[in-house]
Amino acid sequence: MTKKILAVYFTQSGQLGDIIDHFTKPFVSSPDIAVEKVRIYPAKPFPFPWTTSVFFDAMPESVDGVPTALEPFTFKESQYDLIILGYQPWFLSPSIPASSLLQHPLFKKILNNTPVVTISGCRNMWINAQEKVKKQLKEAGANLAGNIALVDRHNNYTSLVTILYWMLTGKKDRKWGIFPQPGVSQADITDSAIFGETVKAHLQKNEWNGLQQHLLQQGAVDVKYNLMFIERKAGRIFSIWSKIISKGKKRSILLVVFKYYLLIALCIAAPIILLVDAVFFKPFLGKRIKKQKEYYAGVALR
Ligand SMILES: Cc1cc2nc3c(=O)[nH]c(=O)nc-3n(C[C@H](O)[C@H](O)[C@H](O)COP(=O)(O)O)c2cc1C
């Protein structure tokens, strides 16, 4: 019997669409699998390229998961054998369009009782967003079977410069001819078909236990200690900022303050805190850190 798969995603630059296309290649080439791809669009588009002010203006609603209206979309089936959800983090949370999709009654309905594989394409901080996605999937009654997190593998500060260049100019090329190309590398995007093969093997056996373990063996997820450390702290701080900005009367001024706070926190405070941690704490917390990394690499929800 033909297996029915839905791959649903939002993308601005096309990067996530490219990821979905490569990841689903093994399914598309199988005669016994029918793949339906649905790209979603917000009714009021987010600008691409962004302006700095609109970019930071997306922070509170991203963090608080405030949904925006989506252009109407339909699914051909009422039940699928597998749903592939492609999303990108915005401010350590699922992007506003992705989070709106996760809260949409039509999507929630087809998620119920269905295996889901999530695949994200981001700069390098996806842990917090994935925890929120895990929660929303669970609430919708879905069974998260696998996760793949594609990142920009360059150094955290290099990728910070290049992503801002990309987002604020719309150009995914090498800034000044010096910096590397922003975003997930084309090689990693193309190679995501390997993960697609693994998911396909599990789909054909209808056996989802062990999928994430197989994906981990193939390097589908890499939890880096320093990034995990920063993200866990920043996730909590972003929630406080989003409340202050949403409740405050002078939103545009508060957003400018947040922008400078973020740059200082990332470029000055984070390296100092990481150094202190590396000397006084990390050496004594080996077991706990290993457990944390295993948890974030997995699909279970705490
Ligand atoms: C407003 C905004 C916030 C972002 N925040 C993060 C983030 O917290 N972590 C991260 O790794 N990438 C972040 N990114 C990068 C995106 O996850 C994504 O990789 C990029 O926008 C390209 O996705 P696209 O397929 O929609 O073009 C952000 C991008 C935007 C536009």
Domain of 136: which CATH number?
A: 3.40.50.360
Cα 51 to middle of ligand 1, angstroms: 14
Cβ-count burial 142-168 (b if 16+ within 10 Å, e if not): bebbbbbbbbbebebeebbbbbbbbbe
The pLDDT score that the predictor gives to residue 250 is 94
Q: Domain end: 165, 194, 223, which one?
A: 223
Enclosing domain of residue 18: 3-223
State whether 157 and 270 are in the same domain: no
CA of 257 to the centre of ligand 1 (A): 21
Is the CB of residue 92 below 6 angstroms from any atom belonging to ligand 1?
Answer: yes
Residues 282 and 161 in one domain: no
As a whole-number percent, the residues of the chain with pLDDT over 90 amount to 99
Q: Which residues contact 173 (CB under 8 A, 6 or more apart)?
A: 181
User: Among residues 208, 223, 238, which one ends one of the domains?
Assistant: 223
208 with 272, same domain: the answer is no
Segment 185-243, tens digit of pLDDT: 999 999 999 999 999 999 999 999 999 999 999 999 999 999 999 999 999 999 999 99
pLDDT tens per residue across span 63-78: 999 999 999 999 999 9
Q: Is residue 236 part of a domain?
A: yes
Report CA(162)–ligand 1 centroid distance (Å). Answer: 12
pLDDT in tens, 85-125: 999 999 999 999 999 999 999 999 999 999 999 999 999 99
Is the domain of 13 the same as that of 99? yes
To the nearest whole number, what is the mean pLDDT of the chain?
97
Q: Are residues 128 and 159 in the same domain?
A: yes
| Residue 201 structure tokens | 């093997």
**Per-residue tokens: 99:** 């989070």
Question: Rounded to an integer, what distance in angstroms lies between the CA atom of residue 279 and that of residue 180?
Answer: 31
The first and second tokens of residue 275, run together, are 């150094």
Report whether residue 115 contacts ligand 1, using a CB cutoff of 6 Å.
no
Residues 117 and 236 in one domain: no
Tens-place pLDDT, residues 172-188: 999 999 999 999 999 99
CA-nearest residue for atom 19, ligand 1, is 122
Residue 262 and residue 214 share a domain: no
Residue 299 in any domain: the answer is no
**Residues 216 and 243 grouped into a single domain:** no
Note the pTM of the prediction, 2 decimals: 0.97
What is the three-class DSSP state of 37?
A: strand
Residues 275 and 144 in one domain: no
- Report which of 29, 8, 30 is spatially closest to residue 19, judged by C-alpha positions: 8
Number of domains the chain is built from: 2
Q: Specify the long-range contacts of residues 48-54, CB closer than 8 Å, at least 24 apart.
A: 48/12, 48/13, 48/167, 48/170, 49/167, 49/168, 49/169, 49/170, 50/167, 50/168, 51/168, 52/168, 52/259, 53/252, 53/255
**301 within a domain of the structure (yes/no):** no
pLDDT of 133 strictly over 90 = yes
> Does residue 248 surpass a pLDDT of 90?
no
pLDDT category at 1 given cuts 50, 70, 90 is: confident
Residue 300 lies in a domain: no
